[in-house]
Chain A
Amino acid sequence: MIAKFYESLYRIRRVEEEVAKVYPTDKIKSPVHLSIGQEAVAVGVCEALQPEDIVFITYRSHAAYLAKGGNLKAMIAELYGKVTGSAKGKGGSMHLVDVANGIMGASAVVGTTIANSIGYAYGVKLKRQNNIVVCFFGDGATDEGVFYESMNFAALKKLPIIFICENNGYAIHTAQAKRQSVPDIAAKAAVFGMPIERLGDDVLHLYERISAAVETLRSGGTGPFFFECETYRWKEHVGPSEDYNAGYRAKTEAEPWMQQDQVQKFAMMLDPQQRQQIEQAVEIEIAEAFEFAENSPFPPDAELYDGVFA
Chain B
Amino acid sequence: MMNRNNVSYVDAISEATAQEMAYDPSVIVFGLDVDDHKAIQGTTKGLLAKFGPDRVFGTPLSEDAMTGAAIGMAMCGLRPIHVHIRMDFMMLAMNQLVNIAAKTHYMYGGQIRLPMVVRSMIGKSWGQGAQHSQGLYSFFMHVPGLKVVAPTTPFDAKGCLISAIRDNNPVVYVEHRILHFQKGPVPEELYEVGPGKARITAAGSDITLVGISHMQIECLRAKHYLQEKGINAEVIDPIWLSPLDVDTIAASVRKTGHLLVVDNDWATCGASAEIMAAVTERLQGEMRFTVHRMGFANTSCPPTPSLEYLFYPNGRTVAAKAFDILKGSAQNWLPNERPDLKEIEFRGPF
Contacts and interface: CB of A to CB of B under 8 A. Distances in A.
Interface in A141-161: 141, 143-145
B302 A89 contact: yes
Interface in A171-222: 171-174, 178-180
A309 to B, nearest CB: 10
Contacts of B38: 173
A298 B305 contact: yes
A87 to B, nearest CB: 9
Interface stretch (B163-171, B195-203, B293-301): B293-301
Interface residues of B, number: 41
Interface in A75-127: 81-82, 85, 89-95, 107-111
A91 B303 CA distance: 6
Interface stretch (B20-28, B180-188, B226-234, B306-314): B306-314
A248 B33 CA distance: 12
A31 B307 contact: no
A179 B59 CA distance: 7
Interface string A231-249: 0000000111000001110
B343 interface: no
Given A174-B58, A238-B349, A108 B131 contact: yes
A4 interface: no
A95 B129 contact: yes
Contacts of A82: 304
B61 A143 contact: yes
Nearest to A23: B349
Contact of B61 (A89, A111, A239, A240): A111
Interface in B39-85: 58-65
Contact of B348 (A31, A179, A304): A31
A32 interface: yes
A304 B311 contact: yes
Contact of A298 (B37, B297, B300, B304): B304
A93 B127 contact: yes
A95 B129 CA distance: 9
A173 B299 contact: no
Given A89-B302, A109-B89, A238-B349, A31 B127 contact: yes
A145 B62 contact: yes
With a 10 A CB-CB cut-off, give which of A32, A111, A174 has the most chain B CB atoms. Answer: A174
Interface in B117-164: 125-132
A85 B348 CA distance: 20
Nearest to A301: B310
B88 interface: yes
A140 interface: yes
Contacts of A168: none
B106 interface: no
Contacts of B127: 29-31, 81, 92-93
Nearest to B89: A109
A271 interface: no
A173 B303 contact: no
A299 interface: yes
B350 A31 contact: yes
Nearest to A108: B131
Contacts of B349: 23, 31-32, 238-240
Contacts of B64: 145
Contact of A90 (B88, B89, B304): B304
A30 B126 contact: yes
Contacts of A255: none
Contact of B305 (A29, A107, A238): A29
Nearest to B88: A109
B300 A308 contact: yes
Given A29-B126, A81-B306, A298-B304, A107 B131 contact: yes
Contacts of A172: 32-33, 36
B347 interface: yes
Interface of A: 23, 26, 29-32, 81-82, 85, 89-95, 107-111, 140-141, 143-145, 171-174, 178-180, 238-240, 246-248, 298-299, 301, 303-305, 308
Interface of B: 32-33, 36-38, 58-65, 88-89, 91-92, 125-132, 297-300, 302-307, 310-311, 347-350
Report, nearest first, the 8 A-B pairs whose CB atoms are least far apart: A81-B304, A89-B304, A92-B303, A30-B127, A239-B349, A298-B306, A143-B60, A143-B61
8 contacts: A30-B129, A30-B303, A31-B128, A94-B132, A171-B61, A246-B37, A248-B37, A299-B307
Given A141-B61, A304-B302, 12 more contacts: A31-B126, A32-B349, A81-B303, A82-B304, A90-B303, A92-B129, A94-B131, A108-B131, A109-B88, A109-B92, A143-B60, A173-B33
